[in-house]
Structures are given as structure tokens and as C-alpha cells.
Amino acid sequence: MKDLTEGAITRHILTMAAPIAIGMIFQALYFLIDLYFIGELGAHALAGVGVAGNAAFLVMALTQVLGVGTVALISQAVGRKDRAEANLIFNQSLMLALLVGLAVLLIGYAAAHAYMVSVSSDSATIAAGRTYLHWYMPGLALQFALVSMGSALRGTGIVQPTLVVQLLSVIINAILAPVLIAGWLTGHPLGVAGAGLASTLSLAAAVAALWFYFHRLEHYVGLERRLLAPRWREWGRILAIGLPAGGEYALMFLFSAVIYWAIRDFGTAAQAAFGAGSRLVQGLILPAMAVAFAAGPIIGQNFGAGRADRVRSCFGSALFLISALMVAVAGGVYWQAGSLIGYFAKDGVVVRYGVQFLQLISWNFIAQGVIFTCSSIFQGLGDTRPALLSSTVRLLAFVAPVMWLVAQGGFAIEQVWHFSIGSTFIQALVSLLLLRRQFSQRLRPAAAFAR
């Protein structure tokens, strides 16, 4: 295996990231289209969907458990040229996806109302969020099968089929959103229920399309009934890698839930602004996340092959690319905050809160880029516990002062954003320190193996 220069590794990351980024850009368009039509329904709908959408972080936490574990184990198996191992992991991942998806569907319906009541005091906002969750919950359950199949492909270095499926999903959602939410053509607007239903139908189409690809075209890994029977050892391996990564998303849910709780006395407008602003930010940072997603499997393959030099080079290249993207996004958000939030919120108070939130939170982006990079390396190395630890540090650094602030009363909402910025930079520093420790402990043995 010949050595690769830093430039060659950077090009490899970009080659992997480009189709992922395209898919994520279209995913961002889905976010924005959905947000536009929900914004037309008013502040209560915007706040309700924002609060309800935060609950999706819990589902994302579980899909992350499945996806990260699958990518890490399959990519390392590919690096060792062990096709049988890769195929076993895929089938076990798919069975986990089916079982956990069903459990999420049942629990989600049972807990939706209790969650909404816990973070909002406005009855109209609670009703909107509950309705949205009821129609979106089947789509969230379908995410598990989609993530299992997409992660298996990404672990083998194949990203184009997942990209095509993502594009299909976004196109379907973009068509259905105005029809179901606003009642275009039908004359029967469903409001927030239509937003949830549009997402569910588009995800169902995506799962069907990716399943067709696996059934007809995928040859490296595929469905084998004899490999679907639960194997506790493989489940344990997937969960050991994935659980800490999933814990990151669970902590993100708690982080946002604390914010919704802390600002609820500022009214529906403040919660609507935070929900819309957060959704905007999620869409705008997706290209940087695409680079991180691409770096993970490359790290895993080179680590599995015992190439410590390439692992280090990949980290440097990914950090540079992601930081550059995040700086550009931060500048655009800061200077165009009014225009961005104005597209999706018509209420003047919502816009004012939204501009303040976006301009302050844009200072987070550079630190978030460092966090994304470190998390992708941890995933590739097959040990996501450090990422969970850094996320826990951030949560504690944020929650403790915010709870003290709320207890004092009479605080300004921007103080919450200041604490968020500070806690994010703390997490970035902790992530770098933990990654340095991982490199010193794990790459030397890998380098020795290569020799």
C-alpha cells in the first residue's frame, strides 16, 4: 500500500464528502421548505414543531448508536478484507433496526403529550407539537432501517446510492409539503399534521428505494436470512461503539430541552425563534458535517489496515476543511441573520428574537467544527466514549449556570446564548485533549502492526 501525501488524503476526503454534501444540501432544502410552510401557520405552529422536533434528537441518538457502530465495524472489516464479517455486521444491524424502530414507534405515541407539557406552557403550542409528533412518528421509526442500510454502504466506501435515495426523499417531501401543509391543489390544508405526514411518506419512499438497491444491485453486503437471527456478541460490539455516540445526541436533546424550559417565560415568540433558528443552523452546517461523515470511514479503513500515519493526516485534512466551511457559514449567518430568519418567521417579535439568537450563536460554529472533526475520528477509531465525555462536560457547563440563572429570575435571554457559546468552546477543548490521548494510546500499536 503506497503512501499518500496530505493533498491526496484531502482529495480522498473531498471525493467521499462531495456526494454526501450534495445529499445533505438537499436535506437542508427539505428543512427550509418545511420551515417556510410551517412559518406561514404562525408563531404557535412554529414553536410547537420546534419543540416537537427537538424530541427527534432522541430518535437520532438511537439511530446514531446503530449507524456509528455499523460504519465502524464494517469499515474496519473492509480494511482487513474480511467480507464475511462485514456481511454479518450488516445483517445484525438490520435486525436491530427493525426491533428498535418498532419500540420507538410505540413509546413515542405514549410519551408525546407528556414531553410537550414539560417544556411548554402554552396550550396552542403543546397541541401543535403533539399533532406533529403523532404524524411524524412512523417516519422516525423508519429512520432505523434507512440508517442501517446507508451506514453499511458508507462503511464499504459507497455513498452514491444513499445520495440518490436522499434526493428522492427530499423531492417527494418538497412536493408534498405545500400540498399537505398548505392545501395546494387539494384545498384541504392539514397544517402541522401535514408537515409530519409529508416527512413520513418521503421517508417510507426512501426506505423502499434503498431496499430495492440492496435487493438488486449491492454485492459486497446483502440480506441473508441465516444471519438475521440475533447474535448477542455482534449486538454487543455494535452497541459498545455506538452507544457513546448515541449518547451525544441524547445530550443534545437534553441541552435543547433545557433551553426551551429556560426561555418559556419569554413567551411563544422566543420559543418559535429558537426553534426556527436552530432548524436553520442545522441545515446550514450540513456540508461541514458531510466532511466529518466522510472522514469517519476513511479513518476506520486505515486504522483497520494499521496505517497510523494516514489516520493522523486524515485528521489534519478534515480539521482544515471543516473549520474553513464553518468560518464561512458563521460569517454568512452573522451578517444575514435578519434576512435568514425573515424568510420563515412573519411575526416581528419572533424575528427580533431570531436575529439575536443567530448572531450570537454563530460564534459557536468554529468550536462546533472542531467537535465534528474529533467525533468523526473517534468513530473511525472505534471508540466513541471520548465524544460522549466531552458532550457531558458541555452539558454540565451549560445546565448548572442556566438553572442558577432561572432560579434568580429577571435575566435577559441573551445570557442563555452566552452560556451556550462558552460551553461549546469548553467541549471543543476537551475533545482535542481526549483525541490527543487516543492518538498516543492507540496509533502506536497500529503503526507497529503495519511494520
Q: Is the pLDDT of residue 450 over 90?
A: no
Q: Look up cell 412559518; give the residue.
A: 39
CA torsion, ordered 244, 111, 235, 160, to nearest 10 deg: -80
> Would you tell me how many other CB atoms lie within 10 Å of the CB of residue 203?
22
**pLDDT of amino acid 85:** 84
| Backbone phi, psi, residue 228, to 5° | -85, -25
Quote helix, strand, coil % in the chain, to nearest 5: 85, 0, 15
pLDDT tens-digit series, residues 280-325: 887 788 778 777 877 777 787 777 777 777 778 888 888 888 899 8
d(CA 266, CA 268) in angstroms, rounded, equals 7
What crossing angle do the helices spanning 365-381 and 286-304 adopt, rounded to 10°? 30
Which cell is 418 given? 452566552
**pLDDT of amino acid 446:** 47
pLDDT tens-digit series, residues 329-380: 999 999 999 888 887 777 888 899 999 999 999 999 989 999 988 988 887 7
Nearest to 314 by CA among 326, 302, 323: 302
d(CA 194, CA 169) in angstroms, rounded, equals 16
d(CA 301, CA 314) in angstroms, rounded, equals 11
pLDDT tens-digit series, residues 196-255: 999 899 999 999 998 888 777 666 777 778 888 888 888 888 888 888 777 777 888 888
Nearest to 90 by CA among 155, 16, 140: 155
